[in-house]
Structure 1
């Protein structure tokens, strides 16, 4: 009973790996289901058995790449630890996710498609936003503990992560900037966390 399931899972994984490669190299429009099937070593029918359309496959490919890069991004709030210590750790994981070269390459494709075909890509971007809920959850818990000011936790999370993305995501996506080195990452994280706490932390 378990053998067929494992084989199906392996085929699905192979399709996602092949799709990521095809979308990164060729872009959404040029990438073909035939090419993805050939690279994955499966039939085109098998691809469609797993994914109803190229649009569905593209969305799942972006999500899988993000989740693979994210790793242990969702750290739970710990009341016994300092806010600064926890936020530094959380943002270090965040910046590591955003720096993954494969994810960046696929994100460029997704953002390009959002400009040309928003009806196809905006649902994917919305799903990516949902995967950032871990930071919002952490902030909500800190607010409930009385250590951060009350307010919209989603807004606070956007302010915090936006500072990271300004240096460690958008320049790499839009202008082909080099990834930040370790010292630059530490500087950005320290500044973002310091500014966040200066405004949102309870006195």
Structure 2
């Protein structure tokens, strides 16, 4: 979830950005290991190798730092599921590629660890989740964009592309995300991953194609 600094950024700006990235990564590691409640800004500063004052210069509170991580988690999720609709390719092949992108992300151990922390904390503090949704509400995931394009091309009949995108991804997450998050089950073996992806795509196309 790191970002690349622009090569033409002034040295001071590059140093500031590097410190911010170090703080965010340190917070991710601390929240993942200890949870939100047991993590202090002192711990984050020590792990990042910066002063506590530097941490507060970038983030006025632990809540603000956590909110930034939630945004990065969401952006990581949507960035990894991205495929431009191609009208000359079969729908099934494109949807399989999209859902394999989703599956690979959901099976990433770091993503799952951070998602556990984020979900646990937003259950205790729903306003944090609401704030994140409000900040990102205007943005669409790659799956939704792909479905809109396919519907505009007349290949899918979708009364509500946003609903359909949640429905499609839910077919995958019911096997490859929620059992791992809520019950600590291991990630799916490759053969089961393939079964989940292919059956989700085929069910979706049977309904909407």
TM-score normalised to the size of structure 2? Answer: 0.89
Query: Which has the higher mean CA deviation after the structures are superposed, 151-160 or 69-78?
Result: 69-78
Would you say how many aligned residue pairs link Structure 1 and Structure 2? 201
Q: Alignment RMSD, CA only?
A: 2.0
> SS at the partner of 2:35?
helix
Alignment of 1:79 onto 2:81 = no
Choose from 38, 52, 61 the match for 2:60.
52
- For 1:165, the equivalent position in structure 2 comes to 173
The answer to whether the 8 A contact 1:66-1:97 is kept is no
From the two aligned structures, give the one with the greater helix fraction.
1
Alignment map for 1:1-203 (pairs within 5 Å): 2-68=10-76, 72-124=80-132, 133-201=141-209
- The structure-2 alpha-carbon separation of the partners of 1:129 and 1:83, relative to structure 1 and needing over 3 Å to count, comes to farther
Following superposition, the deviation at residue 121 of structure 1 comes to 3.1
Could you list the per-position Cα deviations for residues 68-122 of structure 1 after superposition, in whole angstroms to 9, with x for gaps in the alignment? 4665421111111111000000000011111111111111111111222212233
Moved more, 97-106 or 120-129: 120-129
For structure 2, the 5+ residue unaligned runs are: 1-8
> Quick one: distance in 2 between partners of 1:30 and 1:130?
33
Q: Taking structure 1 as reference, are residues 114 and 139 closer, same or farther at Cα in structure 2, changes over 3 Å only?
A: same
Match of 2:3?
A: none
In the alignment, structure 1 segments of 5+ residues that lack a partner are: none
